[in-house]
Amino acid sequence: MTAHLDALVAATPTTRDRVVDLLRVLSLGVVVLWHWSLSLTQWNAAGALTMPNPIPDVPGGWAMTWVLQVMPVFFLVGGYANLAGWQAVTRDGAGARRFLAARMRRLLAPVLPWLACWVVFDVVVQAAGGRSVLAWGMAVLAPLWFLGVYAAVVAAVPLTARLHAAWGWRVLAALAVVVLAADAVRLGPGWGAPVTGLLGSLAVFLFAHQLGYFWRDGTLLRGGRRTAAAVTAVGLAALVLLTTLGPYSRSMVSVAGEATSNMFPTTAPIAALAVFQLGLALLARPWLAARLQRPRAWRAVVAANGLAMPVFVWHMTALVAFLWLYERAGFTLATEPTGGWWLTRPVWVVGPGLVLAAMLAVLSRCRRRRRGSEGQPRRG
């Protein structure tokens, strides 16, 4: 494993934008830590797992979400990486089939074992007279919705990459119009639900993904810090205007009791947040890039990238397992963000983290055994 990691580090081309890799790791890491430690995880009266957040109880807490709601960042760097992959495939004379086969294989590889485990577990529980996992609520299956949306965006790359090459910024403008129109119809007269919500949500994530194309093709880098500052200012101004004058929540995550949510369905402020966070990333890029030239720092990013998707896919499973252990040990889940709740936040990082590490170790051992058995010569 160490030799393989060293080989990957040594093989890094000088043209690689290492900041993109770092942001991918950080975005998924923030999501995992948020779910584990900044959610008031509890079972409701119907026996479903719910995960409200403490944002309403934190003065100015909504402002934290303008930095910590990092789903747009993942789609941004996904746009960069997917355009790079598309360019490599087309340079070799291949097309959509090869690109999509490779991307979907990488995306689904960690999902299938996870899904198989949950299916087997659900069958066993129901056979023993217990409730189906589906009755626990969608929080348990949270990775699926995100990966489903990302898979749809990836599937559109052969089209969106061509549109980017032909129309550039006009594609972003068209997606922004779709987002605003879907919001206006859904939040105004309320027509077309749930189709308008789904259409607007997809347009938001396509918008964020398309922004990454402008990083990859160098458009956003040529202007240096001036361009980065301009992008940041535009995104921030759009966020302020939308959440002050529009019918939107200031929080970029769902908040209990508020009439609208910016994430479900996904709204125009998330598109504005993507622009704002892109600007921040571009401003920080020179400083980060210099530090990622250090072998130790880059080695850590390469290692983390290798684990990023398995960690994301399995992190809610690890949380549920730790919940079970926590309650069996006689502890009670908190329902309010009291001082005691805040003091226990490290427990909800270390506990699920240890469970997740054990799960990934078992999965890694199973993969090694399978590869070893496949390499053995057949008898007879």
- What average pLDDT does this structure show over 149-167? 96
pLDDT of 371 higher than 60? yes
pLDDT of 373 higher than 70? no
Task: Note the pTM of the prediction, 2 decimals.
Answer: 0.92
- What average pLDDT does this structure show over 307-321? 94
CA 164, distance to chain mean position in Å, is 23
- Collect all residues with Cβ–Cβ distance below 8 Å to 16 and sequence separation of at least 6: none
Task: Supply the pLDDT for residue 379.
Answer: 46
- What average pLDDT does this structure show over 298-324? 94
Of 280, 300, 218, 294, nearest to 21 by C-alpha is: 300
pLDDT digits (tens, 9 = 90+) for 241-299: 999 999 999 999 988 777 788 998 999 999 999 999 999 999 999 999 999 999 999 99
Enter the tokens of residue 280. 């921040």
Task: Supply the pLDDT for residue 346.
Answer: 96
Average of per-residue pLDDT values in the chain: 91
Q: How many other C-beta atoms are found inside a 10 Å radius of the C-beta of residue 193?
A: 11
As a whole number of angstroms, the distance between CA 282 and CA 95 comes to 31
According to DSSP, the residues that pair with 266 across neighbouring strands are 263
pLDDT digits (tens, 9 = 90+) for 320-350: 999 999 999 999 999 899 999 999 999 999 9
User: What is the band of 377 on the pLDDT scale with cuts at 50, 70, 90?
Assistant: low
E runs forming strands in 11-57: 42-43, 49-50
Task: Supply the pLDDT for residue 331.
Answer: 93
CB 323 within 8 A of CB 48: no
The residue count of the chain comes to 380
Local structure of residue 58 (DSSP, 8 states): S
pLDDT of 20 higher than 80? yes
- Collect all residues with Cβ–Cβ distance below 8 Å to 12 and sequence separation of at least 6: 18, 298, 302
